[in-house]
Chains A and B, each alone.
Chain A
């Protein structure tokens, strides 16, 4: 969970609150710190407060309460142009009346950097994003992906230590987006810059980040590296929001520190790992990832609890098979199995038994 310690933090939010209308809080008590060089993604549905946090960090919004620290110094009263933070905007915000080179040169000009040095830096930045020959073009003459690269180069050309990105890949098609995700992380790590990245695309967040902060309802729900986030969600919102997820509802029957038995609403028992349930009789939502569900009994423990399931639909997706089952009254229970030579292809109507390792099944808040 996020802590308030800011001793070695490069960027820190301390008890930050933000309200636009004086009635509701868009950001509720935000505590977050990130060390130098980290790639942190703020992930959340729209309206969760992630963009507001980014704008407060950039200086375009002021915090209603609390302190934002950059390199140990409070920046609440520093205007955006003095913060020295590079920023990539959702629609790139490339100045349409300037050429690509002039766009890149702009942050250097306002810093009163000499012409020859300016040109050298612009050239280096363009080469860095493989756009060396496009300096003379106008933004309107570039494709979306090219504009994206220029926006990136412009945010980096004045060598800021912190770069903020506000859903920069939202306007690109899937293939280009995946390529740019890779490019951005490569650049961020090569240059050693600290990056705060805002997105609502969870794949993007998982593939790019060192750590992901999942936002909902103005709070950070979980702040962890991608694998922890995916494999050990802290609550049912995170489990639902990150990746595909199966949910079964029930009541806790037995509980120890690292295992629990949950009785589902149709009476069946399953093994799981308690995350935020504490006592017997508590209602819970149990979360299992589709790829961790097993229907081959050889791969399960002897004493594992098994559930009866009916195959509803089989979808061939190339690399995986996606099978929709009816389990314990839930018709949308999905399992994914790798397309291997010995893999079984289930048929609709088929009756099977499924199970899982207890540590893959998380008993979360109801």
Chain B
């Protein structure tokens, strides 16, 4: 056999395992003593390698290049191949998910529309002091008429009206009416315009109208976010909404509170089920598993509608209770169109998301742990509480994160069974997306919801540690 070229291999670029041909490796058979002190030896080796690295400069590969560089070259191909494998999904997600969501979230601050439609007016408004008690001068009115005529021609004035109507009710109809009448005015010749505009509508003579336009003429606004937390942007800065318009903070709080209640009831109901599933012989466990999964496979809408049938005052539960005489006929329980209805239906719907991760974690807990605990003198309860339960916590954690995050953004079920008292923030977002068309506010609410989830996730990571979460 000829002399073999040394084969060098390094995994970290620092420590090299070298095989100098065959037959030269001394079989270092581990003795028991080695094993007992191997941890200590490992520590020693770490310090060794650090000091040698410091003294001897960078480790060199066989051809003299720094080991770090030749290692990264060797790994580059692997990385490229991995990237090529995920590229299709990455591109798909980028275009169908990340970009649309990003642009949607961007709407929560984006406000170029006012400036685009009324460019001259916005420029003139910069010279006007919104704090003063005098109306803007003729130059601004002239600029406004010019802008408005152009806007009417482009049919943009009604949109502008609706945009400003979010901030001050009445502006929508003001813009619509003004748009209709302003066609008779020629911005080149018919000046001065101040009185003519005030003739068209008294509101053009009010400071409040101009203040609103000026406040909301900035390109990027915090107005939507202020609205989302029951405040508003005014000429004087951020102030609280009038009391009768405050609703969103309450909704956020309710969403968080009810999600918490739903998560807790899922843990309480799911834990015993998961335990039984994990401890039954495989055949019965599979049967029971089907019962857990069956609702999971049924349409969400069907399940929610079923709960509507069950829970209403003339529904199955009330009828049975009345028939049994537990509840008098004239005092039937109100189980639906309130928070209770949402909690009951959502607990049921989200239960599999709690049971499955708990089950898969519990399956990995060997029964010998409990036996060992009992052999050491622990009662059944102590063995469970001190030995089994701590090991099942990762499952509870995983289930809780799933259920909590899912329920924070839940929409259909609260919409159907929640009435007015049991709706979530997501129902409000849906309202602003499809009914009021205030997408800016909807985007702001959505952004806040996303931020809350991320903060909670971060807090969970700090407290429980995300490494402790196991999905199976």
Contacts and interface: CB of A to CB of B under 8 A. Distances in A.
Interface of A: 58-60, 79-87, 89-91, 93, 95-97, 106-107, 110-111, 130-131, 133-134, 137, 141-146, 149, 154-155, 158, 164, 173, 175-176, 179-180
B364 to A, nearest CB: 10
Interface in B130-172: none
Nearest to B365: A96
B366 interface: yes
B30 A81 contact: no
Given A96-B391, A97-B391, A111-B377, A146 B36 contact: yes
B32 A145 contact: yes
Contacts of B387: 95, 106
A134 B37 CA distance: 10
Nearest to A141: B39
Contact of A87 (B35, B375, B386, B390): B375
B284 to A, nearest CB: 16
Given A93-B366, A175-B30, A86 B35 contact: no
Given A106-B386, A158-B376, A143 B38 contact: yes
Contacts of A134: 39
Contacts of B368: 89-91, 93
Contact of B375 (A86, A149, A175): A86
B72 interface: no
Contacts of B372: 87, 89, 93, 95
A111 B369 CA distance: 18
Contact of A110 (B31, B39, B378): B378
Contacts of B375: 58-59, 80-81, 83, 85-87, 155, 164
A84 B374 CA distance: 9
A93 B367 CA distance: 9
A106 B386 CA distance: 9
A154 B376 contact: yes
Nearest to B379: A81
25 contacts: A59-B374, A59-B375, A60-B371, A60-B374, A79-B374, A81-B375, A81-B377, A81-B378, A86-B376, A89-B372, A93-B366, A95-B373, A97-B390, A110-B378, A130-B36, A142-B39, A143-B39, A145-B35, A145-B36, A146-B39, A149-B36, A158-B376, A179-B31, A179-B32, A180-B32
A93 B376 contact: no
A141 B38 CA distance: 11
Nearest to A151: B372
A141 B42 CA distance: 12
A125 B366 CA distance: 25
Contacts of A83: 375
B390 A81 contact: no
B382 interface: yes
Q: Which of B36, B378, B382, B387 has the most CB of A within 10 A?
A: B36
B29 interface: yes
Contacts of A59: 374-375
B371 A110 contact: no
Interface string B389-411: 01100000000000000000000
Contact of B35 (A58, A143, A164): A143
Interface of B is mostly: helix
A155 B390 CA distance: 21
Interface in B292-316: none
B427 to A, nearest CB: 41
A142 B38 CA distance: 9
B39 A107 contact: no
A158 B371 contact: no
Contacts of B39: 134, 137, 141-143, 146
B36 to A, nearest CB: 6
Contacts of A130: 36
B366 A91 contact: yes
A154 B391 CA distance: 19
In order of increasing CB-CB distance, the 8 nearest A-B pairs are A107-B376, A179-B32, A93-B372, A87-B375, A93-B368, A80-B374, A145-B35, A97-B390
Nearest to B35: A145
Contacts of A80: 371, 374-375
A146 B35 contact: yes
Contacts of A79: 374
B377 A84 contact: yes
B32 A81 contact: no
B377 to A, nearest CB: 5
B258 to A, nearest CB: 32
Given A86-B376, A145-B36, A155-B376, 15 more contacts: A58-B375, A59-B374, A59-B375, A81-B374, A81-B379, A81-B383, A85-B375, A87-B372, A96-B391, A107-B378, A130-B36, A134-B39, A145-B32, A175-B30, A176-B35
A58 B386 CA distance: 21
A363 B90 CA distance: 76
A95 B369 contact: yes
Contacts of A176: 30, 32, 35
A79 B376 CA distance: 12
A85 B40 CA distance: 34
B365 to A, nearest CB: 9
Contacts of A131: 36
B245 to A, nearest CB: 51
A222 B338 CA distance: 74
Q: Which of A81, A85, A87 has the most CB of B within 10 A?
A: A81
A110 B369 contact: no
Contacts of A158: 376-377
Nearest to A157: B376
A318 B380 CA distance: 54
A146 B29 CA distance: 17
A180 B96 CA distance: 61
B38 to A, nearest CB: 6
Contacts of A146: 35-36, 39
A180 B36 CA distance: 12
A59 B373 CA distance: 13
Nearest to A134: B39
Nearest to B29: A175
A344 B36 CA distance: 42
Interface in B46-65: none
